Amino acid sequence: MDLGLAGLTVVVTGGASNIGRGIALAFAGESANVWIADRDEAQARRVAELSPERVRCIGCDVTDPASVEGMTRAVLEGAGRIDVLVNCAGWVMDRLFLEKPRDEWEREVDVTLWGFVNCTRAVLPSMIERAHGSIVSIGSDAGRIGEYREAVYSGAKAAVIAMSKAIAREVGRHGIRLNVVCPGLVPPQPEATGRESMWSGELAGVLASGEALAKAVRAYPLRRSGTAQDVADAVLFLASDRASYITGQTLSVDGGYVMV
């Protein structure tokens, strides 16, 4: 199926590592022009080198409105438009609620929720002006069911899902769609993980052993973990005009972990 993504301008926040990296490269593979917006510029440049004709990178801290506005202006000046925004930047530390220090709560909300708000608000005016655009945000099943040891992150992702629906109702008349993709377990690959990734620190040890991963996937009906490509395929479809009558929806790409 030709998704008609060739030549579109796509911004992927958090596109330097893991799922974001896979999404950026998948769009590039469809001949879209991709801008990776990430605070880890060194890792973003490594991704851009894999598809130098299609991928550019720009430093951006999604928690800082001024940084996001600057990134948006730079893309609009360089490309003339933004057709697709993928809100992929996120952060979580797996820990019991009562054991989490406040700085972890705040970082989870700042990156996961305020990052979504800042980036979505920044791109909407130009999309409304052109009466066309698609915003696909990476959610989480934690935001659908509430996940053990991820209370604040669950709340932040639930907010991303709810706000995507609310904004979709507001801007649908302008030809703009918002949808959410909730990935299942996608183990990080070392070569795809930058130093700013949440998987580069303490969280990396959670699935360090093959035994731990095997135990985790037993919770999934398809009995396997996901890949960045699994998630990217869903994102590309929802971003494309092949999904032109789909908005305000949440799709779990999780091997059947959540069925709602």
107: which residues sit within 8 A by CB, 6+ positions away?
Answer: 91, 93
pTM of full prediction above 0.75: yes
Q: How does strand 133-138 pair with strand 176-183? A: parallel
In contact, 250 and 182? CB cutoff 8 Å: yes
CA angle 115, 16, 184 (to 5 degrees): 70
Looking at residue 141, the DSSP 8-state letter turns out to be T
Whole-number Å distance between alpha carbons of 124 and 225: 34
Per the DSSP assignment, residues forming a β-bridge with 138 are 181
Q: In whole angstroms, what separates CA 25 from the centre of its chain?
A: 13
- Which whole number is the average pLDDT over 223-237? 96
- Which whole number is the average pLDDT over 8-23? 97
Whole-number Å distance between alpha carbons of 24 and 52: 12
- Which whole number is the average pLDDT over 83-89? 98
- Which whole number is the average pLDDT over 63-85? 98
157: which residues sit within 8 A by CB, 6+ positions away?
Answer: 90, 112, 139, 140, 142, 143, 182
245 catalytic per annotation: no
| CATH topology classification for 9-253 | Rossmann fold (3.40.50)
Task: Please give the helix or strand (H or E) that residue 208 lies within, else none.
Answer: none
Tokens of 186: 């996608």
The residues spanned by each domain of the chain are 9-253
Sheet of 84-87: strand order equals 55-59, 33-38, 9-13, 84-87, 133-138, 176-183, 250-253
Catalytic residue, chosen from 153, 220, 245, 257, is 153
Tokens of 210: 């093959």
% of the chain residues with pLDDT over 70:
93
Q: Give the pLDDT confidence of 114-168 residue by residue, as tens digits.
A: 999 999 999 999 999 999 999 999 999 999 999 999 999 999 999 999 999 999 9
